[in-house]
Amino acid sequence: MPEAEPALAVAARTDPGQKRERNEDAYGYRLTENGGVFVVADGMGGHAHGDRAARLAVETVLERLAGRDPSPALLVDALEEANRKIFQTARAERAEGMGTTATVLVVDFPYALIAHVGDSRAYLLRNGLLVQLTQDHSWVADRVREGLLRPEDARAHRWKNVITNALGTFPEVEVDLLGLRLKPGDLLLLSTDGLHGVLGEEAIARVLTADLPLEVALDRLVELANAWGGPDNITTIAVRADRVPAGEEKPYALLLSGDQPVYIRARSGDTELVLPRRAPKYRLSEVVLLLLWLGLLAYVLLSQRP
């Protein structure tokens, strides 16, 4: 029997950008029998501390999830452990301000779980529409949620880099968690703010829907972010589910039985993310009007016959 095509297509890129000497981002992933684990992290703290924090986050999460059945609880646990490790390292080395964001994607067919801390993001491209799944833990995102700042003003705000939650900066960390049932063709994109702080959703969507091989699409995204000034380190992982194997029944499946991504744990109190729908070509009211008009025409024509 010929071997089945792999269910997942994966590509990853990291680039220092145009303005920074160091690359303080890190990423890593491991494919598993039933999907895989994917992590991006954006370190901070200057000197070598940012890179260390980001790498510690990636390594700890991959180690913690290795060989275990993924679950929402395990994912939170992995990020909490990364937090403890980085916090202790920072204290031992007197590295003030050492910390990192982390966005983790676990594909556990037919589900995807996403956990995050900070302002690195996960997006879902489904049916040609790109949706930001994660909500930034940042000062500007909090103000947008409160209605005090317009989303279009957040990107250029002078406090856009202020994050309100990170791994390693406090003994406790708050982890947001969401999940969804995958559909064939779904593409999940993880990114640090060197990418999404420069490129808006429309630009990202345009590249991802251009029918390019994943590696080429990510090269384009990195080139675009650099062409737009490359003010920060740029890191991104793309994971596309070309097939969605049925998988085993998961204890957490009940949480994700609907058609939409669901927040399992969120600081903002949201319970469900509603994906935008592609607008139908004709609206129902237009179809009804057309039918009425045709009916009237037929009536007039028929009633004129001798």
Q: Does 136 participate in binding Ca ion (rule CB under 5 A)? A: no
- Residue with smaller CB distance to Ca ion, 23 or 34: 23
Q: Smallest distance, Å, CB 24 to Ca ion?
A: 7
**Least distance to Ca ion from the beta carbon of 192, Å?**
5
DSSP one-letter string for the chain: -PPPPPSEEEEEEEE-TTT-SS--EEEEEEEETTEEEEEEEEEESSTTHHHHHHHHHHHHHHHHHTTS---HHHHHHHHHHHHHHHHHHHHHTT-TT-EE-EEEEEEETTEEEEEEESS-EEEEEETTEEEE-S---BHHHHHHHTTSS-HHHHTT-TTTT-BS--BSSSSS---EEEEEE--TT-EEEEE-HHHHTTS-HHHHHHHHTS---HHHHHHHHHHHHHHTT--S-EEEEEEEES-----PPPTTGGGG-SSS-EEEE-TT---B-PPPPPPPSS-HHHHHHHHHHHHHHHHHHHHT--
Q: Does 119 bind Ca ion (CB under 5 A)?
A: no
Binding residues among 172-211 for Ca ion as defined by CB under 5 A: 193
Could you tell me which stretch among 37-45, 107-115, 203-211, 220-228 binds Ca ion (CB under 5 A)? 37-45
- Of the candidate spans 34-42, 105-113, 180-188, 296-304, the one that interacts with Ca ion by CB under 5 A turns out to be 34-42
**42 binds Ca ion per the rule CB under 5 A:** yes
Q: Which of 79, 232, 238, 273 binds Ca ion (CB under 5 A)?
A: 232
CB of 111 to Ca ion, least distance (A): 29
- Smallest gap from residue 176 Cβ to Ca ion (A): 18
Closest contact distance (angstroms) between CB of 266 and Ca ion is 22
Point out which residues bind Ca ion (CB under 5 A).
42, 193, 232
